Each structure stands twice: as structure tokens, then as C-alpha cells.
Amino acid sequence: MIITYYGKQFFKIQQGDTVLAFNPISKDSKLKAARFGADVVLTSLHHPDFNGVESVTYGEKAPFVISGPGEYEIKGIFVKGFFAESSYQKEHKVNTIYLISLDGMNLCFLGALSSGELDDKTKEALDDIDILFVPVGGGDVLAPDEAHKLSTKLAAHVVIPMDYGEGSEKNALQQFLKEVGVDKVAPVDKLTIKKKDLEDKEGEVIVLKSE
């Protein structure tokens, strides 16, 4: 599995010939969007920062779009979406937390989560997480300390922080790392990982460079 980060909450997950896109940035967003073809798109929240399906539609290839709570199966990928309330840019919205089973690994994508308090049903379902994608920037999403507390509760093998801004706003990332108890993590261009690589990892933070 190869994981590539494009800023904000936009990720590309490639497993063999299958490509997933998480929260692609729309051309209508003020943020910089990237373009590539995806087989499956997961969007957590209805906003141009997260729902740019057109950005990952290539030629005549239209991706399968998952945009809300429920259970889905496509190309041998199993997805469960869980309802979570969010307040994004001072608007009350529905944020979907996704749990994805892919290549023998469980990926949890928290999306634009603004509260670290999850309902009991969701907490129970989010078990045995291999890779956790967690927003850490504060403001519209979890603050660094909240992100750390929730990451600890969910006990993922690997934690990938996201949505921490650019420039001086990256202080949120440094604050998150401080909460975790590490001074610095060298960012990597892409993460290539297999199930066996996770066996000796407990809450290891991996920072990805934004493409």
C-alpha cells in the first residue's frame, strides 16, 4: 500500500491497480487541488475543501463515490461510515468517519472531526485500527491535544496527522508531536507499508510531506 498526501485532508491510497482518494480538494476551494484518477472516493463533509470528486475523475473513468454514513463494498474494499457532528467554518455539518478494510489492514479516517467525544456505537466499532488519519490543526477540527487524546484512545498502530495548515500554522503539527512526546519527526515523501510492518508499532506518528 502506498499513501500520498496532497495537503489539508487529501490523500491518495494505492493498492495494486486500485486507487482510493480521501477528501479530495475541489477546484472551487481556495486551496490547491491535485488531479489524478481514482476508483473510489470517500468524502467526509460537504464542502469544497473535501468533496472535489471532479479532481479525481480522469477521462471517462468515473470513481465510485462514498459520501456519508453506511456500509459499502467495492472492488473487495469494505467501508463503514459513521455519523459525527461537525462545525466547519461556523456551520453545523455532518462529518463521516470512515473505517476501511484494505489489503488486510484497517484504516480509520476521522475527516473534519471537531470533537474528540465519539458516541458509544462508533467507539465500539473503531477497534483494531492499523492506520489512523487524524486532523490536528485546531479551529474547525480537533486541536492538537484533543487529537492526541483521541489517537491514544483508538490505539492505532500508526498515526498520520493531517489538516495542520502551511507556514506558521504548522505550529499545530509541532504541538501535536509535543503532546505525543516526540520533539521532531522527519517527514517522508510517501508511505509504503504492508501489514507485517505494523507488528511492532504502537501509536507511531508518521508525517507525510504534502505534494
Question: Which class is 2-194 in CATH?
Answer: alpha beta
For cell 475523475, name the residue: 57
Question: Would you give the end-to-end CA distance of the chain in angstroms?
Answer: 17
Please say whether the beta carbons of 76 and 64 come within 8 A.
no
Q: What is the pLDDT of residue 58?
A: 87
Q: What is the pLDDT of residue 13?
A: 97
Largest Cα separation within the chain, whole Å, is 47
Q: What is the pLDDT along the chain (211 residues), one digit of tens a residue?
A: 999 999 999 999 999 999 999 999 999 999 998 999 999 999 999 999 999 999 999 877 789 999 999 999 998 999 999 999 888 888 888 999 999 999 999 999 999 999 988 988 899 999 899 999 999 999 899 999 999 999 999 999 999 999 997 654 568 999 999 999 988 889 999 999 999 999 889 999 999 999 8
pLDDT attached to residue 167: 57
* pLDDT value at residue 23: 98
pLDDT digit string (tens) for 121-141? 899 999 899 999 999 999 899
Report pTM.
Answer: 0.94
Domains of the chain, by residue range, sit at 2-194
Please count the other Cβ atoms lying within 10 Å of the Cβ belonging to residue 117: 10
The predicted structure's pLDDT at residue 110: 97
Strands in the chain per DSSP E:
2-5, 11-15, 18-22, 40-42, 64-66, 70-74, 77-88, 91-102, 105-109, 131-135, 158-162, 191-192, 204-205
**Alpha helices, DSSP H only, in the chain?**
120-125, 144-154, 171-180
- The predicted pLDDT at position 67 comes to 96
